[in-house]
Structure 1
Amino acid sequence: MSEITELKLPESLPFPVKILSVDVQKGADIKKHQHIIRYSYWEFQDAPFEQDGQNDGYQQRKKVRVDLVGSYESPIDGVIDQVTVRVGDEILSQDQTIVKVIEPCSHAVQFGGLCAVCGKSLEEEADYSGYKYEDRAPISMSHGRSDLKISKNEAERVEKKMTKNLITERKLILVVDLDQTVIHVTVDPTIAEWMNNPKNPNHPSVKDVKTFTLDEEIILPPNFIGTRPPPHTRRYFLKERPGLEHFLKKVSEKYELHIYTMGTRAYAKAVAKCIDPDGNYFSDRILSRDESGSLTQKSLERLFPTDTSMVVIIDDRGDVWNWSDHLVKVVPFEYFVGIGDINSNFLPRQRSLLGPSKRRGSIAKLEEKIEKEETTKLEEDGTINVDENLAPDHATSSSEREASLEAQKKERPLAKLQHDLDELSPGSVEDQRLLFDDDDELEGLELSLQKIHETFYAKYDVNGYADIKDLLPSLKHKVFEGLEFVFSGLFPIGSNINQENIVIWSKSFGATVGTEVTLNTTHVIVKNPNTYKARLAKSLLPNVKLVHPNWIFNSLTFWRHSDEKDYEQYLPSNGLLSKEDVEKYLSKLQDPSSKVEITAPVVNVEEKNTLLGGDMNWLGNDDDEDFLSSEDSDQESDFSASPSIKRSIEEDDYEKESVTSKRQKRVEINETKDRGKFVDKDDDGDGEEDNNDNNNNNNYNNDDDDDDELAAELMLGLDSDEE
């Protein structure tokens, strides 16, 4: 496969250089290491001692200019097609072409150290010129083995041909993640027992669970000496996301489907066999972590190195894609309660923002219990990875995955959860079901992908070109355009909300997200409307919407501004702040340097650390609201709390110092103030705080005010510039 190759001078030369002679001519054969040109250049060198008579041996020697001569040799064999320089020319940089050579083979496709075209061995030792054949084909774009490499020109040729075929078929490309995007997988053998027991309350939910087994190598410790043990067999249980078969059938009519997973290749092929047994949708287009080259990140360039204009991604994680403009993020599919993604335990752990749940209140209580136990275990074991940016090596990630799966198999967490659920809900069989088929994410995702496809080809037909990275953000931006959100009572105090998935996700759909209520606030996202920010917003802006987080997820799922009335949280009239407090807040808002005291109750500092919690699951179900709004506010605090150690992981040094400073200042102020005025006391001897509120709110129970750091600052009259 002949190709013209442009030869340029090495970057290491001391430019500029001047051409002294040209030793080749057009049409002549040229061999490797044959001289092409001779050139002159100059550099400064230490002056000889005889020219530096004043140097006494202790001072630095003088520099003198020295003119030198060098030559450039051909790194390849071929025929000279064109000489682009002449004697006397000055070459200023490596960018200028010296000659163009027609090669009998450019070795643009290489496999296992051989040229796939001519068969030449390309693994020769690098000679004195430093030229290596493998550098000419650095791109790996195949779904399978990564030792198949091609050149950039060949990659462009392949992608142009692929693009032409897609345009002819009126299709786009869809890159599909597996775990918690279209499937959920566990190795807990409890599922097998439930599948085989028709009387088990979970049997209807698991009767369609698919299984497969893999022979997996045992992960050995470093420096292991001895005979390697044989592989062991592990059984996996796979639940398809509801509607997956219909989804794949419809979407494959408009998209060419590719799998991209953090699982191993054996795992990916086994899953593909379950969800696409005949290979009608994915064929052999499977890329696993074994070939991707990264254990913590995914890249479109790995599959499409030169052109990504027709590529759409669906994934439950945005961080692994660095929130690419090609990404359509989906709500994670959490079917097996508490299991998570079995292939991402070596990735930074996501906060439990798993989207809307339609499960019953007892399940929601159980999920919060799981979260609390996991957080406590992390604190006791000290297993938190502080530096989430450190990418694990392959051995570390494999050992972590192996340990996690073995623990799951031995500890049988689903059986334990079912036992706990039985104790929480001793009533009907329906209440005792741990697993529910209540997910409808693929329904909205299918509509979104259809809209993307229609918009792409509508623009392509008019302009002859379209690019997903331009279309997708503009389509998403319309959903929340012009809206300003404030999240209240949902994140740990002091955390950087700009790093929260739900905040990044909302912004990608056009929303503005603030930390304080302003005159531009349109929605307060809140689970319980009794938080200070929710009360403030409703007092300041009567038309502001107080909505459950599920409103956001419904809008994101269907790419439309959902009707708030189905998700609105209502605040009793006696929950509004006084007119005086609202006016004080407005003054503070208009002049941040002003000192304002709003007489709202202040929580005891020692209690405040556990009021909000770090990794709590704030996206509970509607049935859980009764549980959260029960008269026992202490119970709510118990379920939503988590130790401050996990929260501190996500704070930078500045935020840590800031929060510590604020808390210390609150301690000092509380020590000098009348505690009875600010802190609820047990006046009736019943062992419970009376939660009396003496701030013009008609004894309105306002425990949730303490979740709000801004509220605390206003209550105490603290100014950021004073700190």
Structure 2
Amino acid sequence: MSLATNSPAHSSSSDDFAAFLAVDLDSHSSDSSPDEETEGDNNAESVRIKRRKVEKLENSEEDIMHEVEEQSLEVLSKQQLCSHPGSFGNMCIICGQRLDEESGVTFGYIHKELRLNNDEINRMRNKEMKELLQRKKLILVLDLDHTLLNSTELRYLTVEEEYLRSQTDSLDDVTKGSLFLLNSVHTMTKLRPFVHSFLKEASKLFEMYIYTMGERRYAFEMAKLLDPKKEYFSSKVISRDDGTQKHQKGLDVVLGKESAVLILDDTENAWTKHKENLILMERYHFFASSCRQFGFNCKSLSELKNDESETDGALTTILKVLKQVHHMFFNEVSGDLVDRDVRQVLKTVRAEVLEGCKVVFSRVFPTKFQAENHQLWKMVEQLGGTCSTELDQSVTHVVATDAGTEKSRWALKEKKFLVHPRWIEASNYFWKRQMEENFTVEQTKVEQTKKQ
């Protein structure tokens, strides 16, 4: 019901309302003159003036109520016409209408209850894309654990790692350290060598996000170590609480077009829908618990009192790849800038790694396994090489774990490269063909006995 309908100006008691105003005016207009004779002479005129004032007030009240009614109709019209681009809780961020039906995606890392519909997400992504391209920037999504750093719960420190407790750096200026004890989350964290320089250089070319499968509190603590001044990520810290699929990461919660996004992560299976955007990182295993987590029966870097190289380690290598992809995207790809796709550029760069190599595998795959479906086979092809099941003089590499197989012996006889499968993996991680002599295949005891 309209507010105007119940107002005095539109009710059956409007005459009473006018009479009330007349009496009120009479009570405030008796000071014009003490002379009753003069007052009598002007009485008729006074009544007319009062009546005009009453009529004017009545009209003013009608105008106000009419305006209120129009505003109410305007609000109702806006609610009916509003596309409801997003909501806080269950209220539209534009018209305030209550929204019972959920649609779109929740961006909890931006605001706990912010939800945007698909049209608004597309609009914002297109706007963001335009602004980024004008600044010659792309988007980089960074994993935390085993990519930028390595963490362990304090209770999992081995006896050989106890020395680390006395070597942690101050939290007052994290830019000067790399090993930190975080009692708030019962964790010790080691930043990967070169990480501060990596972030500084990458930020010149990319708008960066953190995306971790860790909890939100942990993600924020790690972000403080990596970006204490909030220069690189600001509020763009996404945790597992913000994802839309369990045990999966997705670009649906990233406000950037997929054609402009690169991802750095050590786990390919976390990005099943976005493998073309992914640069797979060599895992950083500083702590013993990390090695055990992935089934490695060896001493960790911390137990060996060693660390990854800063000058030619994983982050240094990947930064070069990122710069190359960025340069090609903006300077070497033809066509309109807005239509370019960083995934195609990444594919081109990757395909140069093993270009000209022809690989045959020897007893690397399980019996009766379809060779073409194996990860190593696919990896060779992605790196620009070709694979075959048959030996001929065009073969450049035989990949095996045993030098005693028929194909391995053929490779040695024909002076072809005989390499361990790790040669392929290392070339993939470092985006460069690795020196074959560093990945030789050891002969089995049986083969060594034959030669004796």
Same fold per superposition (TM over 0.5): yes
Structure 2 counterpart of 1:194, one-letter code: Y
Residue in structure 2 matched with residue 172 of structure 1 by the alignment? 138
Query: Quick check: 1:240 aligned with 2:168?
Result: no
**Which residue does 1:546 correspond to in 2?**
418
SS at match of 2:450: coil
Quote how far apart the aligned CAs of 1:141 are.
4.6
Q: Deviations over 1:281-310 (max 9, x none)?
A: 1111011111102232222223247x2111
Q: Alignment partner for residue 306 of structure 2, among 423, 426, 436? A: 436
What's the offset of the Cα at 1:497? 5.3
> How far did 1:341 drift?
8.9
Matched residues in 1 for 2:303 and 2:157: separation? 17
Check whether the contact 1:172–1:256 (CA below 8 A) recurs between aligned residues. Answer: yes
Closer, same or farther: CA 311–142 of 1 in aligned 2, 3 Å? farther
Distance 1:551 1:159 in 2: 40
| Corresponding residue of 1:148 | 114
Question: Residue 320 in 1 paired to residue 270 in 2?
Answer: yes
How many angstroms does 1:184 deviate by?
1.2
1:156: Cα distance to partner?
Answer: 2.0
Match of residue 508 from structure 1? 382
Q: How does 1:288-307 map to 2 (within 5 A)?
A: 288-304=239-255, 307=257
1:211 Cα deviation after fit: 2.0
Please say if 1:287 is aligned against 2:238: yes
Unpaired stretches in structure 1, ≥5 consecutive residues: 1-28, 30-75, 80-101, 124-131, 199-206, 215-233, 343-349, 353-366, 371-416, 419-429, 570-624, 634-690, 702-723
Larger radius of gyration: 2
CA contact (8 A) 1:259 1:285 kept: yes
C-alpha distance in 2 between matches for 1:268 and 1:433: 26
When residues 243 and 294 of structure 1 are mapped into structure 2, their CA distance, relative to the original with a 3 A threshold, is: same
Residue 260 in structure 1 maps to residue 11 in structure 2: no
Match of 1:194 in 2: 163
- 1:467–1:285 distance in 2 versus 1, CA, 3 Å: same
The letter for the 1-side match of 2:416 is: V
What is the alpha-carbon distance in structure 2 between the residues aligned to residue 338 and residue 529 of structure 1? Answer: 33
Cα 1:113–1:460, aligned 2, differ >3 Å: closer, same or farther?
farther
1:492 deviates by 4.7
SS in 1 for 2:125: helix
- For residue 258 of structure 2, what is the amino acid of its counterpart? T
Three-state SS of the structure 2 residue aligned to 1:309 is helix
**Over residues 250-296 of structure 1, what are the superposed CA-to-partner deviations in whole Å (9 max), with x where a residue is unaligned?**
11111111011111111111111122222211111011111102232
Separation in 1 of the partners of 2:279 and 2:81?
45
1:531/1:194 Cα in 2 relative to 1: closer, same or farther (>3 Å)? Answer: farther
Pick aligned residue for 2:354 from 469, 480, 498: 480
Equivalent residue letter for 1:314 = L
1: CA distance between counterparts of 2:240 and 2:373?
Answer: 25
* 1:310 aligned residue: 260
State the shift of 1:163 in Å.
1.2
Deviation at 1:142, TM superposition (A): 5.6
Q: 2: distance between equivalents of 1:164 and 1:467?
A: 14
Structure number having the greater helix percentage: 2
Q: 1:262 to 1:563 in 2, by over 3 A?
A: same
Contact 2:259/2:341, CA 8 A, preserved across alignment: yes
Question: Are 1:110 and 1:116, in contact at CA under 8 Å, matched by a contact in 2?
Answer: yes
Q: 1:467 to 1:237 in 2, by over 3 A?
A: same
SS of the residue corresponding to residue 183 of structure 2 reads: strand
Alpha-carbon separation, structure 1, partners of 2:392 and 2:209: 45
Answer yes or no: is 1:456 the counterpart of 2:318: no
Secondary structure of the residue aligned to 1:279 is coil
Tell me whether 1:105 sits opposite 2:82 in the alignment: yes
On the 8 A contact 2:280/2:429 being kept in 1, the answer is no
**Contact preservation (8 Å) 2:157, 2:288:** no
Q: Hey, what does 1:117 align to over in structure 2?
A: 94
Query: How far apart are 1:534 and its partner, in Å?
Result: 1.1
**Cα deviation digits, residues 544-585 of structure 1 (max 9, x gap):** 211244543443344233443x4363xxxxxxxxxxxxxxxx
**Aligned with 2:428 (options 524, 544, 556):** 556
User: Structure 2 matches for 1:691-702, cutoff 5 A?
Assistant: 691=446, 699-700=450-451
Helix, strand or coil at the partner of 1:486? strand
Pick closer, same or farther for the CA change 1:170–1:293 going to 2, 3 Å: same
**Match of residue 270, structure 1, among 221, 224, 230:** 221
The aligned residue for residue 52 of structure 2 is none
Q: Is the 8 A contact 2:209 2:237 kept in 1?
A: yes
Describe the superposition over 1:141-178 as per-residue Cα deviations: whole angstroms up to 9, x where unpaired.
56345642222221122112211221122111001011
2:344 — aligned with what? 470
Q: Secondary structure at the match of 2:275?
A: coil
CA gap of 1:278–1:197, structure 2 versus 1, over 3 A, is closer
Distance 1:297 1:335 in 2: 25
Match runs of 1:205-244 below 5 Å: 208-214=178-184, 234-244=185-195
**Structure 2 counterparts to residues 66-105 of structure 1, below 5 A:** 78=77, 103-105=80-82
Q: SS of the residue aligned with 1:521? A: coil
- CA separation of 1:334/1:532 partners in 2, compared to 1, >3 Å: closer, same or farther? farther
- Relative distance call for 1:491 and 1:176 in structure 2 (3 A) is same
For 2:385 and 2:136, the matched residues in 1 are separated by 32
* CA distance in 2 between partners of 1:302 and 1:522 (Å): 44
Question: What residue identity is the alignment partner of 2:230?
Answer: G
- 1:585 match: none
Alpha carbons 1:550, 1:567 under 8 Å: kept: no
Q: 1:317 to 1:211 in 2, by over 3 A?
A: same
Identity fraction in percent = 28
* More displaced stretch, 506-515 vs 476-485: 506-515
TM-aligned CA deviation for residue 107 of structure 1? 1.3
Cα distance 1:151–1:445, how it changes in 2: closer, same or farther (>3 A)?
same
TM-score normalised by structure 1 residue count? 0.45
Q: Following the alignment from structure 1 to structure 2, what is the Cα–Cα distance between the partners of residues 194 and 491?
A: 42
**What TM-score does the superposition give when structure 2 sets the normalisation length?**
0.70
| RMSD (Å) for aligned C-alpha atoms | 3.5
**Compared with structure 1, are the counterparts of its residues 490 and 699 closer, same or farther at alpha carbon in structure 2 (3 Å cutoff)?**
same
Cα pair 1:258 1:285 within 8 Å, conserved: yes
CA 1:330–1:275 in structure 2 vs 1: closer, same or farther (change >3 Å)? same
Shift of residue 433, structure 1, vs aligned partner = 4.8
Which residue identity is paired with 1:434?
L
Rounded Cα–Cα distance in structure 1 between residues aligned with 2:291 and 2:266 = 12
Relative to structure 2, which stretch is displaced further, 322-331 or 497-506? 497-506
Aligned residue runs from structure 1 range 391-402, under 5 A:
none
